[in-house]
Amino acid sequence: MTQPVGAPSARGMPNGADLVCLEDITKIYQVGDTEVRALDGLTVSFQRGSFWAIMGPSGSGKSTLLNLLGCLDRPTAGRYVLEGQDVADLDDNALSTIRLRHIGFIFQSFNLIPQLTVRENIELPLFYLDWNPDRSRARAEETAARLGLSDRLNHRPAELSGGQQQRVAIARALAANPNMLLADEPTGNLDSATGAQIMAVLTELNQQGKTIIMVTHETDIARHARQRLHMRDGRIDSMEGAAA
Amino acid sequence: MMTRRVYRSIRLGLKTLTLHKLRSFLTMLGVVFGVASVVAMLAVGEGASREALDQIRKLGSTNIMLTSVKPVETEARTVSPWSMSMYGLLYEDQRRAQEAFATIRRTVPVKIIRKEGRLGARKLDLRIVGTTPDWFDLVRRDVIAGRALTARDAERRASLVVLTEFGARRLLATEQTIGHTLRIGGEYYEVIGIVQSEAGQGGAMQTPDQQIDAYIPIEVARERYGDISQIVTSGSILRESVELHQLIVEVDQVEHVEATAAGLESMLRRFHPRMDYRISVPLGLLREAEATKRRFNIVLGSIAGISLLVGGIGIMNIMLASVTERTREIGIRRAVGAKRSQIITQFLIETTVLSTTGGAVGLALGLTIPWIIELAADMPTVVTGYSLVLAVGISLSVGLVFGIYPARHAANLDPIEALRHE
């Protein structure tokens, strides 16, 4: 399933190398009587194997963008192509399936389910993929081992440190082996040393071929990414390191 | 596949419920008492009605009972001490019934005489019942010892007597007593058998003194005692002449019972203008008892239904609170890729686990209550398999019905909002 590390495609397909392609995306929220344009005609594509940091002041639309990319939300207008599939108009069930197979989420506050053990948390996507227990167990153990969690499998999230909890969250995001990881301030709740460790993990995953799109407001953290996108008022302000 | 997920969801449900033991327990109480009351009330109701139905059924649902009744003296006339009242069913009635109705299979005449019986040193006021051998068959009395009367005994006009279990005990008669001589009035009879008393058999149809019946062939009774009886009361002697005290009619099919009873009624009305008879149909009583039972069940059912409704609302309330409390978990599951239907399934399974656990506890309680009632109040109770199935079905459907709203509520949460929820 692992994709080749993303280099711009030389072939004729216009979007062949792009994992994600957004075209003229607009998202309007209705807050009371006023309309809020969270995203305003955004056009951007993210290549396979890239590692993006999305930055911008609060209210610039970066969280909205991440939710759209993660198929948690639908744009008001525009086209969203993920892995060659137009997903902008899919229904809730189809979007759930795309999240399950193609996207792994990493959150600022880890978002583990407290009553489940580490193993069960990691197995969560596999549960919804309906894997058989042996296979699912093996995958959870393998993924936990990659993240140095082998001796924590039967613990509850509350018994782990913040850094360990975020590793569990990463393991859960990786369990179904999606191509794209979406991280929302993944180090926001961690001290700088632990944060650096988590960033090292993400960098390594990117080197192994995962496309990572991360929202952050910390320039130190954004420096770990290979590409940076600055947003302002629902539009792209500037881009650094993007392939031409 | 699907079953595996259900199995794992059940495990998850149990886990979540054990996380809040007290809350789960309190939530279940409604269903516990609801199911317990359904099972217990049905057991008590079933016990009571089965007893009544058994009594009636023992009288024979194809039987019609005709009984002689002393007519009310309409004219106020001076009753001389020696006057005699003549009333009741006649041998002629028996013959006429037998001839007029093709649906009548057989008739059993009954003649009753009150006399004192003596067995050895013991004395007992007996109710001498002169009847035919068919009696024992028609009213379903089982022979406990010895034998019942036979057609040959009747032909021979043999001086034989059959006692009831109760009467035999009062006379200290045992199996060894068979063959001994019982003196009734001035006559001597050989005891040939003991049959069941109609303990619990009387019901509305028979009188308690039937427990001390002594059965002799009707021919013998007629020869020796005639139709006239004297009752000596303070200051007067009451003389009565009654040919037959009772006539039991057996109809060939249950379907013919009511029509035959109506026919007999109109026939008797013609020949007995004084209405010195009473007609009763066990089948009619059976029908009535069954209707009563149905009404009873409806009342019990609605009471139990209300308590289950209350229990279900309790479950729904707690599940709604649980959904709010676990909004974030729902958001996480949705973000990971759970479909709405899978969230619904998860919460429905949790409520059903809750309600069926409550149902199981309620069932145990509901089986204990009838047992205690039986011990304490000496009332018969019958736990039917149907009530067990009902209890399980009810608790399952309470979970599903009252779980669907909270589950849908959970599934329709916006995942982004849910993830932000504290």
For chain A, the domains span: 18-240
Q: How far is CA B31 from CA A234, B189, B280, B402, in A?
A: 54, 65, 45, 12
Which of B231, B246, B275 is the last residue before a domain boundary? B275
B159 plus B303 within the same structural domain: no
Are B93 and B7 found together in one domain?
Answer: no
Residues B211 and B143 in one domain: yes
Structural domain boundaries, residue B80: 70-275
B254 and B303 assigned to the same domain: no
CATH number of A18-240: 3.40.50.300
Do B156 and B21 have their domain in common? no
The answer to whether position B60 is within a domain reads no
User: Could you tell me if residue B209 is inside a domain?
Assistant: yes
Residue of B nearest to A73 (CA): B416
Clarify whether residues B164 and B259 are in a common domain.
Answer: yes
* Contacting residues of B for A133, CB less than 8 Å apart: 4
- Number of domains forming the structure of chain B: 2
CA distances from B15 to A116, A117, B21 (A): 9, 11, 10
Q: Strands, DSSP E only, in chain A?
A: 18-31, 34-47, 51-55, 77-82, 85-86, 103-106, 180-184, 211-215, 227-232, 235-240
pLDDT of residue B253: 81
Question: Does A107 contact B at CB distance below 8 Å?
Answer: yes
**Looking at the structure, do residues B88 and B118 belong to the same domain, yes or no?**
yes
Same-domain pairing of B183 and B302: no
- Chain B CB contacts of A172 under 8 Å are 336
Residue B33 lies in a domain: yes
pLDDT of residue B198: 63
Kindly give the confidence (pLDDT) of every residue in chain B, 422 residues in length, as a single tens digit, with 9 standing for 90 and above: 567 777 877 877 787 778 788 888 888 888 898 888 888 888 888 887 777 777 776 667 788 888 888 887 655 445 555 667 788 888 888 888 888 888 888 899 998 888 888 887 888 888 888 998 888 888 777 788 888 888 888 888 888 999 888 888 877 767 677 888 888 878 899 888 888 876 444 443 444 556 678 899 988 888 888 888 777 767 667 778 888 888 988 888 877 888 888 899 888 888 888 888 888 887 777 778 788 888 887 887 788 788 888 888 888 888 898 889 889 999 999 999 999 999 999 899 889 988 988 999 999 998 998 888 888 887 888 888 888 888 888 888 888 999 999 999 999 999 999 998 87
- The residue from B248, B275, B302 where one domain ends is B275
Q: Is B46 exposed, middle or buried (0-12, 13-18, 19+ CB in 10 A)?
A: buried
- Strands of the sheet with A51-55, listed across from one edge: A103-106, A180-184, A211-215, A51-55, A227-232, A235-240
Q: Are residues B149 and B217 in the same domain?
A: yes
Q: Phi and psi dihedrals of A20, rounded to 5?
A: -130, 135
User: Does B331 share its domain with B238?
Assistant: no
CB of A3 within 8 Å of a chain B CB? The answer is no
ipTM above 0.95, yes or no: no
Q: Are residues B109 and B250 in the same domain?
A: yes
Q: How far is CA B297 from CA B30, B50, B304, B340, B343, in A?
A: 21, 13, 10, 41, 39
When CB atoms are compared, the residue of A72, A115, A130 closest to B335 is A72
Specify if B283 maps to a domain.
no
- Give the whole-angstrom CA distance, residue B362 versus residue A92: 40
Which of A67, A93, A103 shows the shortest C-beta gap to B339? Answer: A93
CB neighbour list of residue B252: distance below 8 Å, 6 or more residues apart: B62, B103, B104, B105
Which residues in chain A show pLDDT less than 50? 1-15, 244
With an 8 Å Cβ cutoff, are B328 and A111 in contact?
yes
Last residue of a domain, one of B275, B309, B333: B275
Residue A92 has its nearest CB partner, among B15, B340, B416, at B340
Whether B281 is covered by a domain: the verdict is no
Residue B216 β-bridge partners: B130
In a domain, B280, yes or no: no
Assigned token pair, B246: 């009772």
Whether residue B80 is found in the same domain as residue B145: yes
Give the per-residue pLDDT at B225.
Answer: 84
Please give the full DSSP string across A60-100, using - where no structure is assigned.
SSHHHHHHHHTTSS--SEEEEEETTEE-TT--HHHHHHHHH
With an 8 Å Cβ cutoff, are B19 and A111 in contact?
no
Q: What confidence score (pLDDT) does residue A157 get?
A: 95
**Pick from B15, B16, B338: which is nearest to A96 by CB?**
B338
| Closest CA in chain B for residue A63 | B416
